[in-house]
Structure 1
Amino acid sequence: MKRFLGSMLLALNLYAAFPSWYYNIKDVKKQKKAFVEIMLPLIQAENKKIKALREKIIEIFNDPYYLMDPYKIAFLAKIAKIYKIKNITDKKEFLKKIDTIPPSLALAQAAIESGWGKSRFVRVANNIFGHWEYSNKGIKPKSRYENIKIAYSIKIFPSLEASIAAYMRNLNRNPAYKNFRNLRYKYEQEHKKFTGIIAANTMINYSQKKEEYVKMLKRMIKLNHWEKYDK
């Protein structure tokens, strides 16, 4: 019964991520422009939430008596669990993991992973960044990588916003993107702009294409002049 209801919800969810008019655009340039107009505000909104959380974390650590405040300790413990931070007094680790994602990088990865929002997984699961889950609860891919023995499926999200939030949380806490976080923190400490082109160099573990994927990201950002959104 649950599987049947899930299938019904997926059927009703068709075009949930992008409006139907988006898929009716025939001109490639116009569709790319529409893609950015849909995605960029959502990316910026999620970055705004992360920035607000980061500022709250900084405010707590700036309080010399924060360890005596049960509310602040409980809050840090809650956030530490979400971001997989072992020591709740490790300010540096909080600041490394709770920070914004360059919009140009997010746009490039969204475009590549979703085929500009046209993939089946976007239409039926609001999954724009190709997120998997190691279970059979999501959408079964039509083909699976032969060298992956663990069962996996494409994760279903209730909204496009939820998919973007999961993507940013993934980059901010997954061990595979430690180099991304370290480089971002280094640039922040040196008061330098951390752009999508720079960040793309650390995305080698995001795809099995490895170095080729990094080249694809950088090419996507440059061809579409998306670095302007990192300012």
Structure 2
Amino acid sequence: MKKKFISFLIALNLYGAFPSWYYNIKNTQKQKKAFVEIMLPLIERENQKIKKLREKIIQIFNDPYFLTNKKNLSFLATIAKKYKIKNLTNKEEYLKKIDIIPPSLALAQAALESGWGKSRFVKQANNIFGHWEYSNKGLKPKSKYEYIKIDYSIKIFPSLENSIAAYMLNLNRNPAYKNFRNLRYKYKKTNKLFTGIIAANTMINYSQLHEKYVTLLKQMIKKNHWEKYDKALSE
């Protein structure tokens, strides 16, 4: 299936989940290619939303009288709550937390966490990045041992897009990824490209595998030549 046609389907919101034809692909390389063709436009679209929000935040702070504008202050309060920003008028705090995620990193984590979209969590819950929730509303994980008590569930998302949005928000506001945000901000200030390979070094807290997980992410990006999608952002 052609990439342009897939992008067209996504634009029409027809991809709430991985399509059945994806799971019928027998050739591994073709399936991996299809995975990228499905996921990349969704990742790029979510990044565009974040980029537009960032631009609006900059526009508000560039107004010397923004503190007198109730509409702007109300908007900032809403965003501050969403991104867990403590200081309502601290521009740097917004810019550190509201920024795009390197596409290669998102693709690598999506592939690793979901088994290239083939895991039960994806098929039954559109959960690409292994998000948990401490409630009984989600999908119960299976335990090999009956005596192990599992007090969390796998969050169910209405669509792949919702799962990607939650993943990006998680990286942008969770204290566990503060190093990721600080490093990204440092690269942004010096006009350097913040790639998935560089970002992967800060993902040590994303998985219980820790250092091994970082290595797996880097290998995934390099093996599939996904850094080209990061470079496309700077062109």
One-letter amino acid of the counterpart of residue 39, structure 1: M
Counterpart position of 1:196: 196
Counterpart position of 1:132: 132
C-alpha distance after superposition, 1:133-188 (max 9, x if no partner): 0112100100289xx97711000000000000000000000000000000000000
Counterpart position of 2:58: 58
One-letter amino acid of the counterpart of residue 42, structure 2: L
Map of 1:83-102 to 2, 5 A cutoff?
83-102=83-102
CA contact (8 A) 1:16 1:124 kept: no
Looking at structure 1, the residues matched to 34 and 119 of structure 2 have their Cα atoms a distance apart, in angstroms, of 16
- Bigger drift between 46-55 and 148-157 goes to 148-157
Counterpart position of 2:17: 17
Looking at structure 1, the residues matched to 220 and 45 of structure 2 have their Cα atoms a distance apart, in angstroms, of 22
Q: What is the TM-score of this pair, normalised by structure 1?
A: 0.91
Q: What is the TM-score of this pair, normalised by structure 2?
A: 0.89
Looking at structure 1, the residues matched to 196 and 17 of structure 2 have their Cα atoms a distance apart, in angstroms, of 24
Over the aligned positions, Cα root-mean-square deviation in angstroms equals 1.7
Identity rate, percent: 80
Counterpart position of 1:161: 161
Looking at structure 2, the residues matched to 227 and 142 of structure 1 have their Cα atoms a distance apart, in angstroms, of 35
Looking at structure 2, the residues matched to 144 and 135 of structure 1 have their Cα atoms a distance apart, in angstroms, of 21
C-alpha distance after superposition, 1:101-122 (max 9, x if no partner): 0000000000000000000010
Looking at structure 2, the residues matched to 114 and 143 of structure 1 have their Cα atoms a distance apart, in angstroms, of 18
Closer, same or farther: CA 141–188 of 1 in aligned 2, 3 Å = same
Looking at structure 2, the residues matched to 177 and 63 of structure 1 have their Cα atoms a distance apart, in angstroms, of 30
CA contact (8 A) 1:134 1:150 kept: no
| 4+ long deviations beyond 6 Å | none
C-alpha distance after superposition, 1:59-116 (max 9, x if no partner): 0000000000000000000000000001110100000000000000000000000000
Looking at structure 2, the residues matched to 69 and 165 of structure 1 have their Cα atoms a distance apart, in angstroms, of 29
CA contact (8 A) 1:139 1:153 kept: yes
Counterpart position of 2:209: 209
Counterpart position of 1:38: 38
Structure 1 spans left out of the alignment, 5+ residues: 1-14
Structure 2 spans left out of the alignment, 5+ residues: 1-14
C-alpha displacement of 1:16: 5.2
